[in-house]
Structure 1
Amino acid sequence: MSINVEETLSKLSVAQKIKLLAGLGWWHTEPVEEQGIPSMRMSDGPNGVRGTRFFNGVPSSCFPSSTGLGASFDVDLAYKVGVALGEECRAKGCHILLGPTVNTQRSPLGGRSFESFAEDPTLNGLIAAAYINGVQSKGVSATIKHYVANDQEFESERALREIYLKPFQLALKHSNPWALMSSYNRVNGVHVSESSWLLDDILRKEWGFKGLIMSDWIGVYSTAESIKAGVDLEMPGPTVMRGKAVERSLAAQKLFISDIDDRARKVLELLQKAYASGIPFNAPEEGIDTPKLRQLLRESAADSIVLLKNEKNILPLTSESKVKTIAVIGPNAKYAFSSGGGSARLLESYTVTPLQGIEAGAKELGLNVKFTLGATTHKLNPLLDPYISLLDGSGKGALLEFWNESPANGFATANSNLKDDLEPPVWSCTTEVSNCVLLDGVASAYSTVFTPEESGIYELSLTLAGSGNLFFENNLLIDLSTSPAPGDYFMGLGTAEVKTQVQGLKAGQGYKVEVRASNHAYVKQVPIIPNWGGLRIGVVRVVKPEDALQEAIDLAKSCDAEWESEGYDRPDLELPGLSNRLVSGVLKANPNTVVVNQSGSAVTFPWIDEASTALQAFYGGNELGNGIADVLFGKVNPSAKLSLTFPKRLEDVPSYSSYSKGQEHGKVLYNEGVFVGYRGYQVKNLAPMFPFGFGLSYSTFEYSSLKCSDISPEGNFTVSFTIKNTSKIYGREVAQIYVSDNEASLPRPQRELKGFKKVPLEAGESKSVEVSLDREALGFFDERRGEWVAEKGMFSILVGASSEDAKLKGTVELKKSLAWRGL
């Protein structure tokens, strides 16, 4: 079946056209069944296809966070990840994937920094283009987002063009995304969803974008303005700013039928692609789990890990190493921090923790592994997930029961009598998690058996969106039914986390845990967001911090090598809790320590000078643990490079003075202008802890024979050079090409990444590498003229292993200035 867009549009009534301009619920477009128009399905998110359910959804594959995929500097891998995501969309009956995110990482403090590929627009845009091409090769629409400057106010058009719009521009140049999502924020005082300049003048007219523009969720703040600016689809539904409001605007002649046709046409054009894909409408959701997919998940996890230091060549750990025992030290070794939160969060089809991966790798080599906590570092108590089983003993998980009305007096209050005979639930199911979004306007019970691995004192915690309580062995333990303090969890709907200790628990003994909750009378609201219930149960064994530190240090002294991991997503650059003390203490106790940091974005390492060996692992997806182990044990030779700068301290970040400081009534000036990320460190001659593009290998490489062709009248030229693997093992090197304008009339960065190529090399092998560049590599945006300009003169070409490690240098001459608009 197919659809003729213009013919269908001509048959629609005004009311039917208006209906197409807003969503049906959170994940679908509105159908017009009487005209044969079905509902298209969409899904989050950037690193995995969640499907249509926040709660108890179909399990999904989780790929590394975008910062990790960006660190691979591998467009072929990004394409393969996109293909896999497209295939999973097809399995879930999804026509539109809400990704990728390409917002520039202006500051590592950004709560969603892990969702974007890089601080550099070239890396960001080219990885995004490959991802988009992969997704859409399977007939699924990619949705590039969040257009644009998705966190704060703006000022300079030059910075907007060169840094923040550029990754979108490059992605459109090298791919053809079928959809784009506008951002929440204002740019120069105008909401993006109302900005004709951004959506129509630049995106559609200047760049030639032909696809659909949807709003971010609850990101439409007007009726006529957003429609005239070019937002085709308001999400989610039911509509707030369209529907009857559009009819009123038509009556007032603020809008005309031609405006409605323009927007409805884009929805129908995307529907035409959905028909062509062959993906059924309203299909059941299914998962995918194949050996080939698992191998890609494992490959992408390993290829996102950056080797930061290996001064003593401790790594890789092989059968030839002198290591006999490995101490795994760190509170998050037993947890698989596969992704960040928000739109990236999903129910993984399976996970491999760092400890599991290391134990499996060590077993193959006949090595012993010992584990200790070391220190607690969590903001919220770790989830109860690893320790739960069903009440009937039939397997892992918990029983969830739902009622439309409370099944007993005081059901979810501190007065609840658990021995009451309850009415049968309307619906029940099982879940393997203790962090659930529940249902709107219902009463619910969550019941499980908690079995601790070690004897001792345990601290249980509860966070609710709603009202309710936690019972332990049929006794009230945590009361959240009586004026609970508000918190930030569940999109701002949740309570603060309440914690209570339980004494004398025994290893291997099961203890019943039950949460009874209701959100019938829950009044805390975020506009538009449904009044969902939700619960999060956490648990941690109570350990005195000093005792845990000493236990870790003692273990380190008795072992040949150590490994430490930290799960992280914080509003500052410090590792949480006693992490830094733990790492310093272990480093002093044993010089053969391998430090593995896991974080979504940059953190600071005050102990880095003491460490001889360190790796950066981003959120690694399903195969996080195996990916780390593959690098540690040499199955994979690390080849990733940092996709963002790691500073020595927060104050060194170029945006520091205006990102979290200097905000006035929600307005933030981008005072650093174009000097974002590594550009800002270079202009200040400020050395970071680790620069953008930095990453080591178990191999060594030699660069030679740089040649730069003449620049054509159109601005095209090539850069060629030779790379040799001078080691005895196979390795891959990311060669990076930076360009410097030697004679610019305006201040420009010292150098800017304009191209890169990942080169696989056998031991001793040499390869000639050629990278094609165009006028984009030479130009800057001239606000005075409102166009891109490449000024005649000499340009330096720097080829090397990072933004601070140029191996080769050459020059090219542009003999005649160029000016242009568009792609």
Structure 2
Amino acid sequence: MDLDELISRLDLPTKISLLTGADMWSLPPLPEIGLDRLVMSDGPIGVRGEQWSAGDPSIALPSPTALAATWDVELVRRAGRLLAQEARRKGVHVLLAPTLNLHRSPLGGRHFECFSEDAFLTGEIGAAYVEGVQEGGVATTPKHFVANDFETDRFTADVVVGEQALRELYLRPFERVVQAGAWGVMTAYNSVNGTTMTEHSELVNGVLKGEWGFDGFVVSDWTAVRSTEAAALGGTDVAMPGPSGPWGELLEAAVREGRVPESAVDDRVRRILRLAERVGALRPDDRAGTAGPAPIDGVALVREIGARAFTLLTNDGVLPLRGSPTLAVIGAAAREARVMGGGSAQVFPDRVVSPLQGLSERTGVRYALGTDPRIRLAPIPGPVTAEFLDEAGVVLREERLAGGEARWLGQLPPGVEAGRLRNVRLRAAYTAESSGEHELSVAGVGAFTLTVNGEVVLDESIGLDGGDPAAAFLSPPERRVAVAMAAGETYEVVVTHPAGTFGGMAVVSFTLGHADPAPGEDEQLAEAVRVARECDVAVVVAATTPEVESEGFDRADLRLPGRQDELISAVAAANPRTVVVVNAGSPVEMPWLPEVAAVLLTWFPGQEAGAALADVLFGDAEPGGRLPTTWPERLADAPVSAVTPVDGKVCYDEGVFVGYPAWRRAERAPAFWFGHGLGYTTWSYDSIAAEGSTVTVAVTNTGTRPGREVVQVYAGPRRTLAAFDVVEAEPGQTVVTTLFLPERAFQVWEDGWRTVEGGHLVEVGRSAADLRLSATVKI
């Protein structure tokens, strides 16, 4: 297709209209050239679509840290194909994922949404993700380009980073996914060395589009474009969302006045049309009748990935469980699993299998809460009716919700015009299961009126602390009120809230929460100890909360929230066969580690959490995960932790020493090294042969059951990960794997890539610290 010929048909205003969103999630159609509307959607663990609500359910995959923990590029590629299937089902052309920023600090708020501390592993997993999604005809936009490794003041912070670290670490995963054929890239909010990324011509035009030859489109993070001329010359192709913003008529004037060349506009339009051609949105009628790929069973794949990602940190032999033991299942997250991180990564699955449900379907279970670390109340259970009201109180539309969470961003329900909408009302008929003081809450920003059976119990305007406007949507404050209810009685609970705006578009974001009467925490903890003592095995599910791991803010510490550490120690003292399931997307401190029989890390495991957990605990599946990032024993031990800007700057003074190379240099041992993970069998590393860029390794399954092993190769000037492979073997079987070391493993950046010639030690093993074999290669 001759894209230049299509561009020649368009006048300047029409071309510029393509460079800004038509709304929150799409670019406008141009029927005169056969261009369909281009729809984008958040990821990375699912495809939410244009509706930020449970009305349009989505498959919820495990978190990106979990995907990386599989170290299995083919499995991640399959996950990408599932995401493409979801995107096609929802009419989405562009998935705003994956996130390629690094785990520079364990305090990073979106740590769960990134893959690894290691640039090579991030690049390989990211490339597989990109390839899988795009094989399904859906574009990806690896993000956030570049050095957006924290959340605090992310809109304004300036990252000060040396050229060597920028090239060897932070740019390297993006370079890899460009090599893999990514069709898009998203620029970050932050600045790098004094220039905001949407205006960073040196990195966007110079490195990404020029040096790497990237021919896809560059989209801004939402509202990140804040200038006309500078952003237009800086390389960003699409400013989202729209239609308001600093481009449009302002950019047209800049072109007509000669401040921005029209050729720069044409290049952007060409990239957008190329994207449309790739995803089937340019002359879409030409693709009619094209057979799609075979359907993927999303539920089964999510369950499989969950088990493959689960990382067994310690095990005294209690796992896998044998027979039909009676389990004490303990913890708030056992009943209401945290299956995903908060923020733009959120999707709404049509089902979630909790650990309690998954284990109850397998054996006898007794449940105890123990302690509840959640700061906000859970949404009131549905059905809940959302009513959209005009200024006169006329209901414009009703929507049925599964629970008390109301979220619409930009895209309102059909028939609701933003100009007419004044208030949104949630109405729930709640039947109390127990008598006593129930708690109701509203979480959101703005004015709220809460009534129970027509009586006002809360009438307040809630303000927002902090400077991140996204926090109003992603992590709003909460107000609670106690209401006496009688068991079996039904109460009409109604909350009314005026609609707001963000970036010129309508925003509805608030939650009606509820909690049953409950005994005090001391009583709950004592009950958990009693239950644990009376059961064969205790399984404590400990989790972070949305107030700890989410978009919009960084973590303050690595402690499990609430009294969970105390709960684990008390349960372990009552039952020596205590298994702790850590339901977190990033590292947590584990002061009780020597007291428990086993620790299994499930990350944020996706919607099939409980089913995958039962598979692994009972040995139907082996925990296949290996740590994609180093876990410190204490935050104070971490070589790099600071994420808070000082005088507006975040200085990456550590240079290239991030993650396990920094631990080695500091000569300190973490709780668990990068690459660590146990299975249910044992392995011997038998032989290594290395010649040039090829390494051949033989390993043997020395245990009594089939198993999977991740063979890891470390090499180069700083002994970093250079290759890896997942192998499988039956008991007693020896397998041989051949791994290829990329040239980049032996290069350093010194005003250009320089190969460090001479002899290089190549080490092979089970983690960055457990290295079993070595050889020398000459480069």
TM-score (norm 2): 0.92
Instruction: Return closer, same or farther for 1:228/1:156 CA change in 2, 3 Å cut-off.
Output: same
Assess, with a 3 A threshold, how the Cα gap between structure 1 residues 328 and 289 changes in structure 2: closer, same or farther.
farther
Amino acid across the alignment from 2:389: W
AA aligned to 1:659 is V
Kindly provide the amino acid, as one letter, of the partner of residue 165 in structure 1: L
| Counterpart in the other structure of 2:513 | 538
Instruction: Decide whether the 8 Å contact of 1:721 with 1:770 is kept in 2.
Output: yes
Distance 2:283 2:436 in 1: 56
User: Corresponding residue for 2:172?
Assistant: 166
Distance 1:555 1:456 in 2: 25
CA contact (8 A) 1:602 1:647 kept: yes
1:294 Cα offset (Å): 1.3
Aligned to 1:626: 611
Please give the alpha-carbon distance, in whole angstroms, between the structure 2 residues aligned to 1:529 and 1:183: 21
Q: Does structure 1 residue 100 correspond to structure 2 residue 105? A: no
Q: Distance in 1 between matches of 2:629 and 2:504?
A: 33
Three-state SS of the structure 2 residue aligned to 1:147 is coil
Change (3 A) 1:429 1:277: same
The aligned counterpart of 1:562 is 538
Aligned residues: 743
Q: Which residue of 1 aligns with 2:246?
A: 241
1: CA distance between counterparts of 2:227 and 2:186?
Answer: 16
SS in 2 for 1:532: strand
Matched, 1:486 2:464: yes
Per-residue CA distance 1:663-711 (angstroms, 9 max, x = gap): 32220110111111111111101111111111000111111110001x2
Matched residue of 2:539: which SS? strand
Aligned to 2:366: 370
Aligned to 2:114: 116
1:490 and 1:182 mapped to 2: Cα distance?
Answer: 19
| Corresponding residue SS for 1:134 | helix
Shift, 1:578, TM fit: 0.5
CA distance in 1, matches of 2:429, 2:230: 54
Name the structure 2 match of 1:69. 67
1:289 Cα deviation after fit: 13
The reply on whether 1:684 has 2:675 as its aligned counterpart is no
Q: Distance in 2 between matches of 1:670 and 1:643?
A: 21
Aligned position for 1:652: 637
Equivalent residue in structure 2 for 1:724, among 674, 683, 700: 700
Change (3 A) 1:724 1:607: same
Alpha carbons of structure 1 residues 579 and 271: separation in structure 2 relative to 1, 3 Å: same
Q: What amino acid does structure 1 have at the position aligned with 2:733? A: E
The residue that corresponds to 2:686 in the other structure is 704
- Whole-Å Cα distance in 2 between the matches of residues 226 and 247 of structure 1? 13
Quote the residue 2:319 is aligned against. 315
1:487-532 Cα offsets, whole Å, 9 max, x none, are 57983336631112234543x554332212223xx6xx65x26341
Secondary structure at 2:280 match in 1: helix
**Aligned-pair Cα RMSD in Å:** 2.2
Determine the structure 2 residue equivalent to 1:353: 354
Deviations 1:750-775 (A, max 9, x none): x2011110111122211101101121
- Given the alignment of the two structures, is residue 636 of structure 1 paired with residue 637 of structure 2, yes or no? no
Q: Does residue 192 of structure 2 align to residue 187 of structure 1?
A: yes
Distance 1:170 1:613 in 2: 37
1:739 Cα deviation from its structure 2 partner: 0.8
* CA offsets 1:343-388 (integer angstroms, 9 cap, x no match): 21111121111111111122xxxxx200011011012122323xx3
| Letter matched to residue 759 of structure 1 | V
Asked if 1:296 is matched to 2:276, the reply is: no
2:668 is the alignment partner of 1:667 = no
Aligned to 1:778: 746
Does the CA-based 8 Å contact 2:225-2:239 persist in structure 1? yes
Pick closer, same or farther for the CA change 1:580–1:640 going to 2, 3 Å: same
- Does the CA-based 8 Å contact 2:100-2:143 persist in structure 1? yes
> Counterparts of 1:445 and 1:225 in 2: how far apart (Å)?
43
CA contact 1:102–1:144 (8 Å) conserved in 2: yes
Structure 2 CA distance for partners of 1:205 and 1:615, relative to 1, 3 Å? same
User: 1:580 — aligned with what?
Assistant: 565
Conservation of the 8 A alpha-carbon contact between 1:584 and 1:607: yes
CA contact (8 A) 1:464 1:533 kept: no
> Retained in 2: the 8 A contact 1:462–1:537?
yes
Displacement of 1:435 in angstroms is 1.4
How far does residue 256 in structure 1 lie from its aligned partner after superposition? 1.5
2:430 aligned residue: 450
Give deviations 1:42-92, integer Å, cap 9, x for gaps. Answer: 111111000111134411101001001000101011000000101111111
- Pair 1:264–1:289, CA change in 2 (3 A): closer
Distance in 2 (CA, whole Å) between partners of 1:291 and 1:228 is: 43
Cα distance, 1:726–1:279 mapped onto 2, change above 3 Å: farther
Q: Determine whether 1:788 maps to 2:753.
A: yes
Structure 2 CA distance for partners of 1:293 and 1:484, relative to 1, 3 Å: closer
Distance verdict in 2 for CA 1:529–1:567, change over 3 Å: farther
CA contact (8 A) 1:466 1:533 kept: no
CA–CA separation in structure 1 for the residues paired with 2:284 and 2:522: 57
- Shift in alpha-carbon separation, 1:531–1:52, aligned structure 2, 3 A: closer
The answer as to whether partners of 1:465 and 1:533 remain within 8 angstroms in 2 is no
- Residue aligning to 1:500: 481
Q: Which residue of 2 aligns with 1:820?
A: none
Question: Shift of the alpha carbon at 1:448?
Answer: 1.7
Letter in 2 for 1:758: V
Q: Select 1:398's aligned residue among 384, 387, 412.
A: 384
Write the distance in 2 (CA, Å) between the matches of 1:335 and 1:621: 12
TM superposition shift of 1:252: 2.9
Which of the residues 24, 42, 47 maps onto 2:45?
A: 47
1:131 aligns with 2:101: no
The equivalences for 1:269-348 within 5 A come to 269-275=274-280, 292-311=297-316, 313-319=317-323, 324-348=325-349
CA contact (8 A) 2:36 2:283 kept: no
Structure 2 residues not aligned, in runs of 5+: 151-156, 413-417, 549-554
The amino acid across from 2:725 in the alignment is K
Contact 2:681/2:703, CA 8 A, preserved across alignment: yes
- Where does residue 154 of structure 2 map in the other structure? none
Contact 2:446 2:498 in 1 (8 A): yes
Instruction: Give the TM-score, by structure 1 length.
Output: 0.87
SS in 2 for 1:802: coil
Q: Distance in 2 between matches of 1:599 and 1:227?
A: 40
Structure 2 counterpart SS, 1:23: coil
CA gap of 1:529–1:601, structure 2 versus 1, over 3 A, is farther
Counterpart-to-counterpart distance in 1, 2:617 and 2:484? 39
Helix, strand or coil at the partner of 2:77 = helix
Measure, in 2, the Cα distance between the counterparts of 1:774 and 1:344: 32
Q: Percent of pairs identical after alignment?
A: 36
1:24-43 Cα offsets, whole Å, 9 max, x none, are: 11111122334443211111
Please give the per-residue CA displacement for 1:300-343, whole angstroms capped at 9, x wherever unaligned.
111111011111x1111122xxx631101101211132211222
Structure 1: runs of 5 or more not aligned: 363-367, 389-396, 408-422, 712-716, 742-748, 815-823
For residue 600 of structure 2, what is the aligned residue in structure 1? 615
- Code of the residue aligned with 2:427 in structure 1: it is S
- Do the aligned partners of 1:138 and 1:277 also contact (CA within 8 Å) in 2? no
* Contact 1:184-1:219 at 8 Å conserved across structures: yes
Kindly state the Cα deviation for residue 485 of structure 1 after the two structures are TM-superposed.
3.7
Match of 2:335, SS? coil
3-state SS of paired residue (1:328): strand
Structure 2 CA distance, aligned partners of 1:163 and 1:57?
40
The residue number in structure 2 matching 1:415 is none
Shift of 1:406: 4.2
Q: Aligned runs of 1:519-530 on 2, under 5 Å?
A: 519=499, 528=503, 530=505
Residue 276 of structure 1 and its aligned partner are, at CA, apart by 7.1
Letter in 2 for 1:228: L
1:761 paired residue among 694, 707, 729: 729
Asked if 2 retains the 8 angstrom alpha-carbon contact of 1:437 and 1:533, the reply is yes
